[in-house]
Every structure is written in C-alpha cells, then in structure tokens.
C-alpha cells in the first residue's frame, strides 16, 4: 500500500485526515446521489400522486402540485437537484469567503458535512407518500455537500506544498472511489437480496440510504481529529457579527479584480466546459445503455461498479503521470481520451456487452484523474489567503453550468430521435475545454498569483 502513503514533505496525520474526507462523502455521492435515491423518490412521489408506482405498461401520469405548479413525479428528483445546484451557485462563494476568514476552517467543513449526513440519514424516514420530506432532505444534503467541498478543496493548499499537490489530490480522489465502491457494493447486495434477508425492497433501499448518511457522518470524524487549523492569511480576520456582510463585500471585490489573474480565469472557464462534459457523460450513461443499447439493469449496475473500481487506479495513475509530465499536460491528454470515448459511444453496437464494459473501463481510467488534477492545478493559480473563496467559484461555477450538457443531450435527442448523435454531441464540451486549456500558461498564472513555482506544471 506504499502507493497510497503520504508523499514526501506532507504530514502523515493531515494527509490521512484529508484523504479520508473523500472516502467519507463518496458514500453519499455514490449510493444516494448516483444510484438509489432518485428512483426511490420517484416511486414515493408516484405513489402519492397516483396511488401506485408507475411501470412501463402502467405509467403514473398524474402531476404533483407544488406551489400551484404541476410537477411530474418522474421529474421531481431532477428538479430538486437543479434547484439545489442553482442555489449553490449563489451560496457557495459566500461560504468560501467566510472560510478564508475563519481560524477554525476544519470545523466549518465538518459542520456542513455533519448537517448533510444528518439529512442523508433521515432519508430512512422517506416512505409512503412523504415525497416532500424526501425533496427537502435531498436539497439539504446536496447543498451541504457542496459547501463542505469548498472548504475541503482549499485545505489541499494548507497541507501540501506545490510539488506534492497533484499526488495528494489524486490519492484522495482514489480513496473516494474506493469508499464509494465498497459501500455501493454492500448496499446493492442488500437491495438485490432483500427477499432472502426478509425485508421489502423499499426497506432495503431506505436502510441503504441510512448507511450512506452514517458512513458520511462517522468517517468525517477522522478529518476533524487529524486536520490542523491555521490562522487566516492574506485577508483580514473579521469580528463576529460582521462575518457574512464582509464576506459578501470581499466576494464582490474578488469578482471585480479576478481579471488581474487572467490565467486563473482562463483555466476556470476551461474547467467549466470540460467538467460539464464529464458530468453529463456519467449522468446519461445509464439511460444510453438501457434505451439505446438495450441492456438490463443488472448490466448497468455492474458497469457502475466497474467504473468505480477502475477509477481508483485511474486516479493514482494520473497522479504518477502528473509527477512525470506535469498536471497541465496530463489533463490535456485526458481530455483527448474523453473525446475518443464519446466517439466510441456513438459507434457502440446494441446488445454487445463486451464493448460497453470496455468503454466503462476507459471512463474509469480518466474519470478521477482529470478531476483530481484539475483541483490541484487550479490550487496553484489562487492568490494566497483566498483559497476557499476561489474554490467556491470553482464549485459554484461547476454547478452554475452543469445543466448545459444535459440540455444539449436532450435537445439533440429530441431533434434526431436517437441517443447516438446526442452522446457524440457532448464532444463539443471537451473540444472547447481543450482549446481553452492549451492557452493557459501555468507558469505565468502561478507568478501572477504570487505563488511558488513547482518543478512541473
């Protein structure tokens, strides 16, 4: 396990504290956010609207009434995620500005994590027709997750010197995939074998949702214990009562003066494009596999687990590549692979499992690596003392644009009647992201931000 040990010049205690927060929150992201809660909430909403759970032969076509608007039960979960995403885009920069002024940064991160974990655990009570409770808990969980990640990402700069950030970020991301894979594997076994375990499928799902919340909350104690607090640098620490007001003021000033950091802004815009492509490919892959390629649910679940498993090693491999070739060049290579993946997706034959699994392996290899290195590369371009504030723009910008890819995918499908041109259309996000990324001069951006130059960028 030496390849997971702390890199040189990184405190082992803090390294493990940092890495295991990725492990902690990935239980929620994978089990609840990616696989189980959306279809479960849909079933609860359909039961409330129609008195039964809809099927392909007997769909539920009665709308829920929300503030006088008719909402399809099948769209409820996605609307909630959209609302949480838009609220995050406004809320997270304030969280970041506050974090940069707090001496107890880890408490802020863990506080948001525990609030989100409590909401996730309470999903065990979502049943019968209580879709409103489910919608509220999903909103709180996603907002708290984003808030905790803003502070978490900024801590990378505190614990790792410039030359070690790629390695630390990649290894932490790998821990996240390992944790998400392990909990998802157990929960899918419980849901699949619910009859043998003497419980209904609904009970098995609710217990799995509870386990994700407990996993997130309990493992968050490790970073809380192991991470150290540091005094704010580069910005004035404000007195209580003035924190939120001055944080809004600092955010406004940062947005006005960010044009002084041209490479930082260019990198951020490039990231928004190619990350939107990545997130959309992941979010539509199950629909593409089922509706276009004709695979059963068991195959799709197996593929999700395969991607999680391979992504663990992919993140580590990208960390090694970055040490040798630099993060910028490694991310560029990863985006070329992403473009090949969407082209391969267009060409995949229906009902052929082997090519679909091969594409899953390819996604797993580049998935964690491109995101982990993007985080560490962006950290090099942030002016001192504004780490959380800039990472809040990173997170908020991601959430503010993450609907573009799904919009393009949906529009192309609507115009063509096929998911094949829709999947290849996502390549435009990787093309634009790559075209912007190659224009980023990392050395110049690091100098502009006043940071120490690493050996490789």
Query: Higher model confidence: residue 442 or residue 281?
Result: 442
pLDDT at 248: 58
Mean pLDDT of 25-50: 86
Q: What is the DSSP letter of 451?
A: P
Mean pLDDT of 404-420: 82
Element (H, E) at 64: strand 64-66
* Residue 64 main-chain phi, psi, to 5 deg: -80, 155
172 vs 278: CA distance, rounded Å: 19
pLDDT at 237: 47
Element (H, E) at 69: strand 69-71
264 vs 333: CA distance, rounded Å: 20
Query: Higher model confidence: residue 297 or residue 338?
Result: 338
Percent of the chain's residues with pLDDT above 90: 51
Q: How many CA atoms, within 13 angstroms, populate the side-chain half-sphere of residue 405?
A: 29
Q: Is the pLDDT of residue 137 over 80?
A: yes
Q: Is the pLDDT of residue 385 over 90?
A: no
Confidence band of 24 (pLDDT split at 50, 70, 90): very high
Q: Is the pLDDT of residue 338 over 90?
A: yes
Query: Higher model confidence: residue 327 or residue 230?
Result: 327
Mean pLDDT of 364-390: 89
Mean pLDDT of 280-297: 79
pLDDT at 240: 46
78 vs 54: CA distance, rounded Å: 17
Element (H, E) at 173: helix 165-192
Average pLDDT, the chain: 86
Confidence band of 38 (pLDDT split at 50, 70, 90): confident
Please give the model's pTM, rounded to 2 decimal places: 0.84
Cα–Cα distance list, 271 to 231, 316, 317, 364 (Å): 30, 20, 20, 19
Same fold? 1-231, 256-456: yes
Q: Is the pLDDT of residue 412 over 60?
A: yes
| Whether the Cβ atoms of residue 418 and residue 292 lie closer than 8 Å to each other | yes
pLDDT at 233: 67
Positions of E strands within 250-383: none
442 vs 457: CA distance, rounded Å: 7
Give the homologous superfamily in CATH for domain 256-456.
MFS general substrate transporter like domains (1.20.1250.20)
Percent of the chain's residues with pLDDT above 70: 92
pLDDT at 66: 78
For 87, the token pair is 């609220």
Q: Collapse the DSSP code of 66 into the 3-class scheme (helix H, G, I; strand E, B; otherwise coil) and give the result.
A: strand
139 vs 153: CA distance, rounded Å: 21
Q: Collapse the DSSP code of 65 into the 3-class scheme (helix H, G, I; strand E, B; otherwise coil) and give the result.
A: strand
pLDDT at 239: 44
Cα–Cα distance list, 348 to 339, 344, 431 (Å): 14, 6, 21
Distance of CA 25 to the CA centre of its chain: 10
Mean pLDDT of 217-234: 89
Query: What residue segments make up the domains of the chain, in order of their start?
Result: 1-231, 256-456
380 vs 165: CA distance, rounded Å: 9
Positions of E strands within 311-359: none
Give the homologous superfamily in CATH for domain 1-231.
MFS general substrate transporter like domains (1.20.1250.20)
421 vs 147: CA distance, rounded Å: 36
Q: Is the pLDDT of residue 201 over 80?
A: yes
Q: Is the pLDDT of residue 40 over 90?
A: no
Element (H, E) at 70: strand 69-71
Q: Is the pLDDT of residue 178 over 80?
A: yes
């Amino acid at each position: 396990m030496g390849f997971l040990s702390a890199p040189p010049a990184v405190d082992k205690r803090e390294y493990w504290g940092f890495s295991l927060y990725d492990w902690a929150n990935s239980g929620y992201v994978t089990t609840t956010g990616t696989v189980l809660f959306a279809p479960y909430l849909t079933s609860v909403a359909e039961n409330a609207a129609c008195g039964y759970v809809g099927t392909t032969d007997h769909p539920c076509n009665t709308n829920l009434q929300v503030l006088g608007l008719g909402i399809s039960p099948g769209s409820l979960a996605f609307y909630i995620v959209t609302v949480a995403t838009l609220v995050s885009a406004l809320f997270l920069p304030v969280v970041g500005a506050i974090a940069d002024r707090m001496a107890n940064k880890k408490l802020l991160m863990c506080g948001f994590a525990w609030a989100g974990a409590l909401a996730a655990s309470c999903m065990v009570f979502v049943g019968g027709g209580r879709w409103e409770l489910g919608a509220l808990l999903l909103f709180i969980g996603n907002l708290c997750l984003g808030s905790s990640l803003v502070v978490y990402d900024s801590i990378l700069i505190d614990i790792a010197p410039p030359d070690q950030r790629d390695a630390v970020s990649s290894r932490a991301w790998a821990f996240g995939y390992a944790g998400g894979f392990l909990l998802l594997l157990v929960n899918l076994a419980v849901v699949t074998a619910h009859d043998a375990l003497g419980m209904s499928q609904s009970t098995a799902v609710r217990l799995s949702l509870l386990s994700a919340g407990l996993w997130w909350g309990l493992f968050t104690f490790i970073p809380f214990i192991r991470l150290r607090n540091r005094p704010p640098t580069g910005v004035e620490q404000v007195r209580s009562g003035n924190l939120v007001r001055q944080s809004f003021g600092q955010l406004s000033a940062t947005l006005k003066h960010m044009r002084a950091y041209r490479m930082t802004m260019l990198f951020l815009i490039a990231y928004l494009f190619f990350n939107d492509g990545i997130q959309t490919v992941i979010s539509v892959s199950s629909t593409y596999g089922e509706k276009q390629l004709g695979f059963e649910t068991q195959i799709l679940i197996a593929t999700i687990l395969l991607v999680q498993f391979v992504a663990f090693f992919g993140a580590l491999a990208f960390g090694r590549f970055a040490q040798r070739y630099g993060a910028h060049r490694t991310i560029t290579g990863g985006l070329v692979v992403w473009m090949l993946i969407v082209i391969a997706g267009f060409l995949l034959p229906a009902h052929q499992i082997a090519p679909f699994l091969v594409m899953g392996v390819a996604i797993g290899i580049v998935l964690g690596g491109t995101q982990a290195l993007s985080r560490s590369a962006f950290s090099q371009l942030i002016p001192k003392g504004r780490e959380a504030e800039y990472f809040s723009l990173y997170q908020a910008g991601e959430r503010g644009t993450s609907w573009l890819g799904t919009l393009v995918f949906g529009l192309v499908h609507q115009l063509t009647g096929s998911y094949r041109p829709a999947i290849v259309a996502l390549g435009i996000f990787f093309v634009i992201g790559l075209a912007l990324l190659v224009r980023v001069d990392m050395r110049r951006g690091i100098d502009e931000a006043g940071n120490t130059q690493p050996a490789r960028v």
